[in-house]
């Protein structure tokens, strides 16, 4: 749990308000509620639904780790 809290503190500031996946105090039910309100109250031309379940099976994990380390290093130097 300790690492999870550290990573959340680092990355949470980068997420936008409409991002719900695996975030503290947010759920798929919250996302559906926001989607419902948006569709019912604003003009919407299209809705895109994406399932990224298999994405992490094929992504180059070394590239992701390198990118994460680079971003963290830049933040630590700032």
pLDDT tens figures, 18-40: 888 778 889 989 999 999 999 99
9 token code pair: 């503190």
pTM over 0.85: no
Q: How far apart are CA 78 and CA 63, in angstroms?
A: 23
Biggest alpha carbon–alpha carbon distance for the chain: 45
73, 75, 77, 78: CA torsion to nearest 10: 160
pLDDT band at 45 (very low <50, low <70, confident <90, very high): very high
Distance CA 2, CA 34 (A): 30
């Amino acid at each position: 749990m300790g690492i999870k809290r550290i990573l959340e503190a680092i990355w949470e500031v980068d997420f936008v308000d409409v991002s719900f996946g695996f975030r503290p105090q947010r759920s798929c039910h919250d996302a559906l509620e926001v989607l419902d309100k948006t569709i019912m109250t604003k003009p919407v031309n299209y809705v895109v639904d994406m399932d990224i379940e298999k994405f992490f099976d094929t992504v180059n994990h070394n590239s992701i780790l390198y990118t994460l380390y680079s971003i963290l290093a830049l933040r630590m130097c700032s």
